[in-house]
């Protein structure tokens, strides 16, 4: 995969996770109503927001490092696990319930993240070009 493309997507996912995490942490009732409707416990959304902020910060701090390989493997595995579990859980929920457009958008974003980090797992980081003339 192209190093610039990978860096851009990691940065986008970092920003997205941070924005969603901050929203869930500081506006859990409002975001819970917009995404799930009434009845979602406020504390669950706030804790989820904190976890998303943590993963977003991890991605932000490593956005310029090669993701994959020997040193970037833990970051890749954390993101892949998050996006696989989150994406499949969201997809299952959306298919079983009548949900808002925002939840479908979030599901699609998670599926893209799952495919992106899954591809990085098997392709590995882009190698820098040495001696290109």
Helix (H) or strand (E) holding 62: none
Collapsing DSSP states into helix, strand and coil, what is residue 45?
Answer: helix
Question: How far is CA 14 from its chain centroid?
Answer: 7
Q: What is the pLDDT of residues 1-40, one digit of tens each?
A: 788 888 999 999 999 999 999 999 999 988 888 877 778 8
In this prediction the pTM is: 0.85
Query: Domain ranges in the chain?
Result: 3-123
């Amino acid at each position: 995969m192209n190093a610039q493309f990978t860096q851009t997507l990691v940065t986008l996912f970092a920003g997205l996770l941070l924005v969603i995490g901050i929203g869930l942490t500081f506006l859990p009732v409002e975001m819970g109503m917009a995404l799930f409707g009434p009845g979602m416990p406020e504390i669950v959304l706030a804790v989820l927001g904190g976890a998303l902020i943590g993963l977003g910060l991890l991605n932000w701090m490593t956005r310029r490092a090669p993701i994959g390989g020997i040193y970037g493997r833990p970051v890749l595995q954390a993101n892949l696990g998050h996006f696989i579990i989150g994406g499949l859980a969201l997809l299952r929920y959306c298919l079983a319930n009548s949900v808002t457009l925002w939840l479908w958008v979030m599901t699609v974003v998670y599926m893209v993240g799952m495919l992106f980090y899954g591809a990085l797992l098997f392709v590995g980081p882009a190698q820098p070009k040495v001696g290109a003339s």
